[in-house]
Amino acid sequence: MDAHGPLCVGIDPHPELLAAWGLPDDATGARELARRVMAAVGGRVAAVKPQVAFFERHGSAGVAVLEELVTLGREAGTLVVMDAKRGDIGSTMAAYADAYLRDGAPLAADALTVSPFLGFGSLAPAVEAAQATGRGLFVLALTSNPEGPDVQHARRADGASVAGSIAAAAGRLNAAELGGLGPVGLGSIGLGPVGLESVGLGSVGLVVGATTGDAVARLGIDLEAVRGPLLAPGVGAQGAGATELTAVFGRARRAVLAASSRGVLAAGPDVADLRAAAARAAGEATAALR
């Protein structure tokens, strides 16, 4: 993020976008879209975030495109955040961790989005894999969709909100990791080979929507105490700008990786236009968060 700014470009080859780009709604179209985006932003932004479902819908050929995208990111020196929102228990969660977080796995990315709603402890295999391999997690905490508050704002018997308990659990893991000088994941998150010890961020980040308004403050969540990176979807076309980022993240804003998909991809299919849109978005994110 220091080198390229705190922008993560989403790669979402949904049918409407493929049609707008004049591409077929199949794996070949998804591949061409992904390649053009990477040609435009590879080595120029902190991260890209493929939405896994838009590739999986094309079966094994679509998953092969995801594998190619991981390789393109690695070659460009651009982080790949796999937006899969995986969540399960026991051996199934361990299998997801093997697929996305273990060295040598074809889909092994720099970070993975995960769901804690089977209980935060169910994420243990993914946490262990991320810490062991220097990768990271982004745990769903406060999402931008209108249905999210039904669960995330709910209060537990002890009075804590569900989102607040997720943030607190992530904070405890990061405190133990950083305090013990253990392996620090997301040395990837744009801070280079020095890792994250120098800035105090651990392997377990959160997904906190940039359009969630005053929810962080209203629920009493201390995002600084998380000491992990904060993935913020909703920037750009979804309505969040500098004012919203500042309102949501406050003093934790330097840990934010601002995610924009439609705001950049709408400029396609021309590579130069995509590159210019990403540069504008990165500049705006930097101005808001630094």
Would you say residue 124 lies in a domain?
yes
Angular region, 112: left φ>0, alpha ψ -120 to 50, beta rest: beta
The pLDDT score that the predictor gives to residue 189 is: 42
Would you say residue 52 lies in a domain?
yes
Would you say residue 62 lies in a domain?
yes
- Contact (CB, 8 A) for 87 and 112: no
Rounded to whole angstroms, the Cα distance separating 190 from 193 reads: 9
> ω before 269 within 30° of 0 (cis)?
yes
Rounded to whole angstroms, the Cα distance separating 188 from 202 reads: 11
From residue 121, alpha-carbon distances to 5, 103, 131, 152, 282 in Å are 33, 23, 15, 17, 35
Start-to-end C-alpha separation, the chain: 11
The pLDDT score that the predictor gives to residue 195 is: 38
- Contact (CB, 8 A) for 234 and 285: no
> Looking at residue 241, which CATH number applies to its domain?
3.20.20.70
Q: What is the tens place of the pLDDT at every residue in 255-266? A: 999 999 999 999
Would you say residue 244 lies in a domain?
yes
Would you say residue 2 lies in a domain?
no
Residue whose tokens read 């594998």: 67
- Contact (CB, 8 A) for 111 and 137: yes
The pLDDT score that the predictor gives to residue 2 is: 76
Of 49, 58, 85, 275, the catalytic one is: 85
Q: What is the tens place of the pLDDT at every residue in 1-41? A: 778 889 999 999 999 999 999 999 999 999 999 999 999 99
- Domain around 77: 7-289
Q: Nearest 5°: phi and psi at 16?
A: -65, -40
Ranges in the chain, pLDDT < 70: 180-199, 236-239
- Please say if 49 is a catalytic residue: no
The alpha-helical segments, DSSP class H, found in 78-137 are: 90-101, 124-133
Query: Domain total for the chain?
Result: 1
pTM of the model: 0.92
Would you say residue 1 lies in a domain?
no
**Based on the number of CB atoms within 10 Å of its own CB, is 247 exposed (0-12), middle (13-18) or buried (19 or more)?**
middle
Q: Per DSSP, what are the bridge partners of residue 50?
A: 11
